[in-house]
Amino acid sequence: MRPGRGSLQGQEGFTLVEVLITSVLMIVVLGATLAALTSFQQNTSANAKVNEAQEQVRNGLDLIARDLRNLASPTPDLPQAIDRAGAQDMIFQSAGKTKAAGSLNPLNTIRVRFCLNTTDGNLYRQIQTWTSSTAPAVPASTQCPGTGWTETRLVAEDVVNTARPIFDYNAVTPTAITEVGVTVFVDLNPGKRPSESTLQTSVYLRNQNRRPQAVFSVTYLSGTSILMNASESTDPEEKAMFYDWKVDGTSVGDGIVRTQNVSPGTHTVSVTVSDGTLTDTAANQSICVPSPSTGVNCP
């Protein structure tokens, strides 16, 4: 006989144990899903912050490169375009954007400083402007940021160079520097993932005036005449050069090649070459002028 519609016979369900097991499994699966979602969100957020930090540094590198490419050509008043060439502190002269009304600064030259504060990992840009005809002294402060500057701007954060140099130069002497390499290490959470990022650039200083090189020879002609020849002297930018000849420490005139009358005996000759801004003096050379009639003989 078939059970009636209202009968409880044949209506089977889940036991309490089965319900509990199912609930635990659902909680485990849901927990794993939420953990994976949380991890994904954390990684996405961390990557976004890293990308933002890297973009900030890239903008800073672009700013450094732009300022260096606008390096102010040295003048007799400011013969050295790079004033400080430190591993994490660089000061140089650049061309300003806007010239103030009534400014007596003929070329609108400014000084730019990029420096790293190793305590907080901030990279700063400072500028010094002036309207006088004579440039002020370079601010002496080595703190970053330092005092004596017209404007200070934060360029990048989370820089972890620490003792590693930011700036690398192709020469030790500031007037001989023609290329600057920039390397910045950035890390939002040092010691944790993701690891630090490295961003680099290199700038050729197209406006840098390099020092000329003085080279000369001196030979005995006849009588009491000597020939001084500096035609092998060179200027990297092929600028016109000026020559200051000295015999025994006394200036005797200019010219690439010069004939000079001197007294019998041994004399010291030197020449200083100038491109109008920078100079170079060659090592002294000795020349002996004989005069057998007076007892002066040369080896």
Domains of the chain: 72-204 (no CATH), 217-294 (2.60.40)
Distance CA(269)–CA(285), nearest Å, equals 5
pLDDT given at position 11: 58
Coil, helix or strand at residue 106 = coil
Distance CA(285)–CA(248), nearest Å, equals 10
Q: What is the mean pLDDT of residues 28-48?
A: 72
Which tokens sit at 287?
């020349």
Express as a percent the part of the chain with pLDDT over 90.
65
Which tokens sit at 165?
């140099």
Local confidence band at 42 (pLDDT 50, 70, 90 cut-offs): low
Task: Using the CB atoms, write b or e for 140-156: b if 16+ within 10 Å.
Answer: eeeebbbeebeeeeebb
Helix (H) or strand (E) holding 50: helix 16-69
Rg (CA), the chain: 37
Q: How many CB atoms lie within 10 A of CB 136?
A: 11
Which 8-state DSSP code applies to residue 242?
A: E
Q: CA 109 → CA 75, 98, 134, 152, distances in Å?
A: 11, 10, 11, 17
Local confidence band at 12 (pLDDT 50, 70, 90 cut-offs): low
Local confidence band at 27 (pLDDT 50, 70, 90 cut-offs): confident
The full 3-state SS of 68-86, as one line of letters, equals HHCECCCCCCCCCCEEEEC
pLDDT per residue over 82-129, tens digit each?
999 999 999 999 999 888 899 999 899 999 999 999 999 999 999 999
Q: What is the mean pLDDT of residues 149-176?
A: 94
pLDDT given at position 36: 75
pLDDT given at position 34: 76
Q: What is the mean pLDDT of residues 48-70?
A: 89
Is the pLDDT score of 240 beyond 60? yes
